[in-house]
Amino acid sequence: MGAREEILARLRAARPAAPVPVPRAYDRATGYPDLVGLFVDRLEDYRATVHRCPAGELPAVLARLLVDVPEVAVPAGVPTGWLAAYPGSVRRDDAARPLTVTDLDAPALAVLTGCAVAIATTGTLVLDTGPHQGRRTLTLVPDHHICVVHTGQIVGGLPEALARLADPTRPLTLISGPSATSDIELNRVEGVHGPRRLQVVIVDT
């Protein structure tokens, strides 16, 4: 038995025989009557910028957010209608012509994606590399990320979010606010491990 097999065997042996109850009804949304409001509060705590609009106004809202952005990168599956009012250049990332890290690191570029699900209690966006989200590189390299979230995608906690995923084994990116870190003196630095600016557009559906 190799080291890997030995570690996995120990983990399996340590697993409790009976399910462990989750306290405080954390795995149910019934305790959070206003999931959207809670989600917005958490995002703003993390210094993300939040916008809310009806579905029909999404193109206009995105065009306003991108008014000073000459170029936007999007995954191949983002609907063309989202950027119908945007006058700048749209660069689609697809398998035939993937955008390079150099492309995505351009200072004047922003990235626009959707998400797979959003968690209200932690203000977290969950991306699973689906058609609206694309490769993980798309949301880790650019300095400015705009994410579209429909209200029907917002759930209470992590267990519900995982249950919503079509395939929980796919690579996941969990985003809770702009990228930030602090040193031992708690001096906050943003944009170290990902986008410095995070804007979330919540679409009422």
How much is the pLDDT for 174?
93
How much is the pLDDT for 29?
46
Half-sphere exposure of 167 (CA within 13 A, CB side): 6
How much is the pLDDT for 84?
97
Contacts of 155 (CB under 8 A, 6+ apart): 29, 35, 117, 118, 119, 120, 161, 164
How much is the pLDDT for 85?
97
**Average pLDDT over the chain, rounded to whole?**
87
Band the pLDDT of 17: cuts 50, 70, 90.
confident
Q: Is the pLDDT of residue 65 over 90?
A: yes
How much is the pLDDT for 26?
47
Of residues 66 and 16, more confidence is placed in: 66
Interval 29-62: pLDDT, tens:
445 678 999 999 999 998 899 999 999 999 999 9
**pTM attached to this predicted model:** 0.80
Query: What domains can be seen in the chain, in order of their start residue?
Result: 34-204 (3.40.50.10420)
How much is the pLDDT for 75?
96
Interval 153-184: pLDDT, tens:
999 999 999 999 988 888 899 998 776 665 56
How much is the pLDDT for 185?
61
Q: Is the pLDDT of residue 7 over 80?
A: yes
